[in-house]
C-alpha cells in the first residue's frame, strides 16, 4: 500500500523501517512522532531498533509527554522534548523525524551547514539547512537549541548529532529527510569535484516563488517575502 494511504500507526512504522533500511539509524537511534486530530501524539518508544517497530509498540502521549496509552515496558522516546517543541512552535507541524543519515550527519559533525543554493530541487523544498548549536540529547538543551531555527526551516542539522525534519504529515517529514540526505551526498560530490556552482539570485527567487504552484507546504528561509506579497 502506498505510504500516504496507510493508517497513521503503520505509516510511522513504515518510515522507521525505511530509515533503518537506508542506514540512517543504528541500534536504537532515531525517533518519529505524529500529531493526532485531538492534539495528542503517537511516538516511537525509547530504546528500540527502528527495524523492530510494530504499530502496537507506539506510545500515545499528551503535549506534556504524559503517557495516555502504551504497552507495558514501553516509554516515549527520550527525544520527545525536542519533538514536542516542534509542535509547540509550529501549528502547521504534524510530524517530526529524527535520524542520523550518514552524509547529512557528516556535515552536522563537521559543523558545516548545507547552505549553498546549488541544486534546484533543494532550493525549492528546503532552502538552506543550518547547524543548530551543540546540545545534550534528551535534555531541554535540545529544544532550546533548535527553537530559533524552526521558524524558517523544516530541516535542521543538529551539531555533533544528526538531523531533524518536520512536516505537515509523516510522509512529508520523511520526504524532507530523504531530500536532505540526497542533497548532502550531492553537495559532497560537488565539493570533491572542485565545488558547487551556485544558482543566481534571480533564479533562486524564481524557484522560491514557484513553491505554492507545486503545493509545497512548510517554511523556507527565503519564502517570507513571497508569503508577505501574497497577503
In the 3-class helix/strand/coil scheme, how is 72-136 assigned residue by residue? Answer: CCCCECCCHHHHHHHHHHCCCCCEEEEECCHHHHHHHHHCCCECCCCCHHHHHHCCCECEECCCC
**From residue 52, how far is each of 7, 57, 100, 178, 207 by CA, in Å?**
18, 9, 17, 21, 40
d(CA 187, CA 174): 20
In the window 2-61, what residues touch ligand 13P (CB under 6 A)? 28-31, 44, 46-47
Nearer to ligand 13P, 104 or 207 (CB): 104
Q: In angstroms, give the least distance from the CB of 50 to ligand 13P.
A: 9
In the window 69-108, what residues touch ligand 13P (CB under 6 A)? 77-79
Per DSSP, the residues of 154-172 read SEEEETTTEEEEEESSHHH
d(CA 223, CA 67): 37
Nearer to ligand 13P, 44 or 165 (CB): 44
Nearer to ligand 13P, 109 or 190 (CB): 109
Can you tell me whether residue 17 is helix, strand or coil? helix
Q: In angstroms, give the least distance from the CB of 96 to ligand 13P.
A: 12
Nearer to ligand 13P, 133 or 137 (CB): 137
Q: In angstroms, give the least distance from the CB of 214 to ligand 13P.
A: 31
Tell me: does residue 132 bind ligand 13P (CB under 6 A): no
User: Exposed, middle or buried by CB within 10 Å (0-12, 13-18, 19+), for 69?
Assistant: exposed
C-alpha closest to that of 96 among 191, 32, 5, 171: 32
Q: In angstroms, give the least distance from the CB of 154 to ligand 13P.
A: 19
Contact call for residues 149 and 130 (beta carbons, < 8 A): yes
Which of 55, 106, 113, 137 touches ligand 13P by CB under 6 A? Answer: 137
Cell output for 1: 500500500
Q: In angstroms, give the least distance from the CB of 163 to ligand 13P.
A: 11
Q: How many helices (H) and strands (E) does the chain have?
A: 9, 8
> With contacts defined by CB under 6 A, how many residues of the chain interact with ligand 13P?
11
Nearer to ligand 13P, 123 or 135 (CB): 135
Nearer to ligand 13P, 22 or 46 (CB): 46
* Residues at the interface with ligand 13P (CB under 6 A): 28-31, 44, 46-47, 77-79, 137
Amino acid at each position: 500500500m502506498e505510504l500516504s494511504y496507510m493508517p497513521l500507526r503503520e505509516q510511522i512504522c513504515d518510515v522507521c523501517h525505511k530509515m533503518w533500511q537506508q542506514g540512517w539509524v543504528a541500534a536504537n537511534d532515531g525517533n518519529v512522532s505524529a500529531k493526532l486530530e485531538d492534539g495528542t501524539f503517537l511516538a516511537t518508544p525509547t530504546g528500540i531498533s527502528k527495524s523492530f517497530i510494530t504499530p502496537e509498540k507506539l506510545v500515545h502521549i499528551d503535549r506534556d509527554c504524559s503517557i495516555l496509552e502504551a504497552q507495558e515496558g514501553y516509554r516515549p522516546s527520550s527525544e520527545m522534548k525536542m519533538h514536542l517543541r516542534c509542535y509547540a512552535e509550529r501549528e502547521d507541524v504534524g510530524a517530526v523525524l529524527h535520524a542520523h543519515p550518514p552524509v547529512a550527519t557528516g556535515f552536522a559533525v563537521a559543523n558545516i551547514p548545507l547552505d549553498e543554493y546549488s541544486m534546484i530541487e533543494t532550493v525549492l523544498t528546503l532552502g538552506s539547512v543550518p547547524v543548530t548549536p551543540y546540545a545534550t540529547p534528551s535534555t531541554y538543551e535540545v529544544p532550546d537549541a533548535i527553537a530559533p531555527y524552526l521558524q524558517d526551516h523544516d530541516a535542521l542539522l543538529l551539531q555533533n548529532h544528526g538531523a531533524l525534519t518536520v512536516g505537515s504529515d509523516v510522509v512529508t517529514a520523511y520526504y524532507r529527510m530523504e531530500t536532505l540526505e540526497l542533497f548532502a551526498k550531492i553537495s559532497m560530490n560537488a565539493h570533491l569535484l572542485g565545488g558547487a556552482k551556485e544558482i543566481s539570485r534571480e533564479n533562486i527567487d524564481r524557484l522560491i516563488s514557484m513553491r505554492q504552484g507545486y503545493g509545497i507546504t512548510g517554511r523556507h528561509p527565503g519564502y517570507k517575502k513571497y508569503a508577505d506579497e501574497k497577503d
